[in-house]
Each structure stands twice: as C-alpha cells, then as structure tokens.
Structure 1
C-alpha cells in the first residue's frame, strides 16, 4: 500500500461543521454540498472560488439537481425529502420515510436512470452511540414511488455503481464494511450482498476510523473517505486490495465526488464536528472542501446523475 501521486489543495474559502453530499454540476462548474449540523446548502464555483449558501433547519445530508429544471434540487431534511428552488429558497414536500423511528436520512445519490437512492440511520443522541438495525435503504423513482431496498442498517453511507451497471456498492459505517450487490439496472433490484472491503482488523486503519462517503472511477475502483482516518482509500472491489491512499488535512474526511475538466478532479468534503480543540488547532483546514488532481492521467471518474422527477 502506498500514497498516490497527487496534488491536494483547499478550494473553499469557508469551512463547515459537517460537510456531506458533494455533487458536481458539469454545466456550471459548481460543486454543491451541505452542512448537516448547520443546515446549510452550498455551491462552490470551482472556477472562480465564489460561493453561495442557503440555510434551513439542521439535518440536511444531500443535494442533487432535478433534471431539466433550472435551479431546482432535491434535498433531505431529517426524514423528509423536498424539492428546493434555489432562486426563491422555497421548499416543496416530496415524501418522508421511517415514520415512528428515531432516524434521519443520510447519504444518497442517483443511478444512471435518474432514480434517487438514499439510506437512513439512527440519530446520535449520545456521542458515539447508535441504535443498531433501525436504518433502511430506499429508492424513489420519477413518479415518487418509494421502495425499501435493504433494512437492518445502522449508519447508511456511501453509494456507487459499476460502469456496466451490474454492481451496486454501499457502506454501513458502523459495520466498517463496504458491500457489493448484484444490480439489475432495469428494475433497480439488488441481491447477493457480499463484503468487498472490511476495515476491521486492518493494521493501517485505526479502531475508531470508519468508511464514510464513496465514489467510483472509470476503472471501477472505489474511493472511500475515512471519518477519523484523515484519508481517502482507493481499492479494488474484486480483490479487496488497497491500491493507494491519499492523506488529507482533515481527520474527519466525509465524502468524495468527481468533477472538473473531463472529471479528472476528485473533490472531498470534511468536518470539524466531533473534533477536540487540540485536533482543530492542528487541522486549520478541517471543514473545508479539497480538490485532488493526479499525475497519472488515466485516473478519472464520471459525471453525477440528476434526479428525474415528474
């Protein structure tokens, strides 16, 4: 295992408490993301460095453009999904999930058919304590039909699909594992879950380090951010072999997505939430957005998909 040859730099002039849900819009060059703790929606213009933010109640974890509708996005707030009109800051209710459970939506993104996949998890009412098995993984299609795809989850997190749409990858952070499913692209069915990467027992992963957000490159290698690990790990889901590591300036690195010219830039979000004063004094860039570019020209990803909503 070796460090990847790359250039990492801070690109946001601001920091957030808990950055999540990065989504790069290739039409505008804007990187959208949220702050779960403050309830902020942000876009960062990756060409100019300018940015804009809108604030709602805490509990936001994703922001995804709605296809064909300018300045319209789907966002989450606790157990609910809304469409956001950025220009008016107005919200329109779409649906809610997990009625009667002490959960909230966590990570989510769209497949290539424009269906939104997202998971839920227990609220952290006590530091470091999560009730196990009450989270779920959902799919919502363009007609707002909601389907539960997986239950008995604790901290639903990163999602990705292989380039041939035959595999779906998903993280439960509390299990410290990345799972691979067989994926039926037409129906959205997932089956035959297997563990393709396991943080447990690995000498280079500390005991409180967990897999968080995730993306995939055009070689079908997964990139997983480490909360409490200060790194991004590239690994082969077929063999489970670690292919390289990027060390980051923030121990709580939260999520990743591809963007930039030809999607050769990896964007990372991070957090200050849960860090001690000593940690923050040593990590002045914690909570910022970072970009990573590579010396190997063959490393690149693909575009993020928008939500198709009728």
Structure 2
C-alpha cells in the first residue's frame, strides 16, 4: 500500500476543524471550526490569515457563483458575504433542537447538500438539498451525515453516515437532483476508525478522513479496496480537499474534541491543518448557483 507524508501547514488549535474548500479564484483555503464557531481563510502565497466569527456552530461553507458563500449553521442555511461577515438566512431545517447541520458540498448542478447530525440512539437526522432558495429532504434516519462527493461525469454520488462505518453510492440525476439505488461500496474495517469527510480525485478514487484512525485513506469505490494512506499525528482526522495552483495538494483538517487531557498531551498538533503533495489531481470545487 502506498504511503504519503504530510506536513503540518498551520498549527491551529481547531476544536473541530472541518469542511476544507480550495477556492481557485481567491487561491485560498477555507475551512471551519465547528465548535469554535469560526470560518477560517488562509492564502498560501503570502500566509495571510483571516476569519469570520459566527454566533452558531458553522459546519460547512461553499462558494457561490456570485462571489458570496453559502454556509451551514446549526439550524439552517445562510448566505455569507466573506468580506463584511454579514449573514442572511435562506432556510431553516426541520430538526429537533438537539440535531445540527454537519458536512456539506455542492453537486455538479450547483445545489447545496448538507445533512444533520443526531445521536447514536435516535438516528433521526436528514440529508437536505438547497436549490433556488428552497429546502428539501433526500434521506432520513441519519445518524451523522458526513462526506459527500460526485463523480466527474455526474452520474454517481458518494455519501457517508459516520455512525454506519460505510461509504454509500447512489445513482445521481443531475437534471433533477434525485438519488436512487443506494448501495454500500466501502466498508471500514475494525481498527481504521470511522469515515468522516471526503474528497474525490481525477481518477475517481475517494480520499477519506479517518475519525479515530490517525490518517487519510485513499479508497477505490469500485472495488472497496484501500489503496494508500497518509498518516497524521492526530487521532481524529476529519476531512480533506484538493487545492494548490495545480490541484495536486491535499489539505487536511483535524480535531481536538473526542480526546481527554492525557490523549491531547500525546497529540500536540491536534486541531492543526496539514498538507501533502500528491501524484494525482483533484476536481475543482463546485459552486452554488441561484
């Protein structure tokens, strides 16, 4: 199995770093700290760092075609002006108070997908789609809605419910945004942690954060085989995104939560952002439309 070496890019202390996005127009990395209630911006060319503070937990952010950003806060979907920090509500979710939105991404047609995180016992979360300002549900009985990815040809959607330790595939209809025929394509083995956020490369392989597994894994969704690993000196690896000038760098987020004080003492880089140069490229971020 191939093994890559990551470098620590930013020694941040994210409580729950998540949702990295590379904006090729800005040439910036954007990610969120859910528990810290911050959206972070980092420009590698000159090291500039900026942040936007939010009142509620922020779990995902995606760029829109008009230059604004769509974000998922705990209770719903909002539009964010990245320069001023102003936010306006688009739509609230229909969830119990204990549930909050988690990971989200745009599909090839520019719809914003994001699901909720419930509890291990209740598993009453949903996967939502925001299109033209209107919110609809695509899935129910979700435990912890997480990674999303679409194939380059737009015919398959991959999806993770972390509580189930599987990666699912759906047939995807770009015209309608409907998904069908769910099937399991990857089963996480014991000792590898649980699947969290993910990104897809130009060869159709999935790069997945291993929560509790100290790594990013590269997986073949056609065979279920693990092809490569990127060891990370942090137990809870949350997500990753391709970026850089040539889209051949992988940016990786991690978390401090889920560890006690003794465990954190053994992980001085918990919450940091990592980067690794790869021999495969990723796909550009899909932007929200409408």
**Residue in structure 1 matching 2:30, options 32, 43, 47:** 32
**Residue in structure 1 matching 2:274, options 287, 290, 300:** 290
**Aligned equivalents of 1:136, 1:92: Cα separation in 2:** 23
Check whether the contact 1:15–1:289 (CA below 8 A) recurs between aligned residues. no
- Normalised to the residue count of structure 1, the TM-score between the two structures is 0.90
Residue in 2 that maps onto 1:189: 178
**Aligned equivalents of 1:83, 1:100: Cα separation in 2:** 23
Check whether the contact 1:13–1:49 (CA below 8 A) recurs between aligned residues. no
Matches within 5 A, 1:73-84: 73-84=69-80
Matches within 5 A, 1:200-211: 202-205=189-192, 209-211=193-195
**Residue in structure 2 matching 1:212, options 185, 192, 196:** 196
**Residue in structure 2 matching 1:305, options 271, 275, 286:** 286
Matches within 5 A, 1:1-310: 2-4=1-3, 6-69=4-67, 72-100=68-96, 102-122=98-118, 130-141=120-131, 143-199=132-188, 202-205=189-192, 209-294=193-278, 297=279, 299-309=280-290
Q: How far 1:203 moved relative to its partner?
A: 4.8
Q: How far 1:102 moved relative to its partner?
A: 2.7
Runs of 5+ unmatched residues, structure 2: none
**Aligned equivalents of 1:216, 1:89: Cα separation in 2:** 30
Check whether the contact 2:72–2:114 (CA below 8 A) recurs between aligned residues. no
Decide which structure has greater strand share: 2
Runs of 5+ unmatched residues, structure 1: 123-128
3-state SS of the aligned residue for 2:114?
strand
- What's the Cα RMSD here? 1.4
Q: How many residues align?
A: 290
Q: How far 1:13 moved relative to its partner?
A: 4.3
3-state SS of the aligned residue for 1:165?
coil
Check whether the contact 2:58–2:71 (CA below 8 A) recurs between aligned residues. yes
Check whether the contact 2:95–2:125 (CA below 8 A) recurs between aligned residues. no
**Aligned equivalents of 2:190, 2:35: Cα separation in 1:** 32
- Normalised to the residue count of structure 2, the TM-score between the two structures is 0.96
Check whether the contact 2:214–2:235 (CA below 8 A) recurs between aligned residues. yes
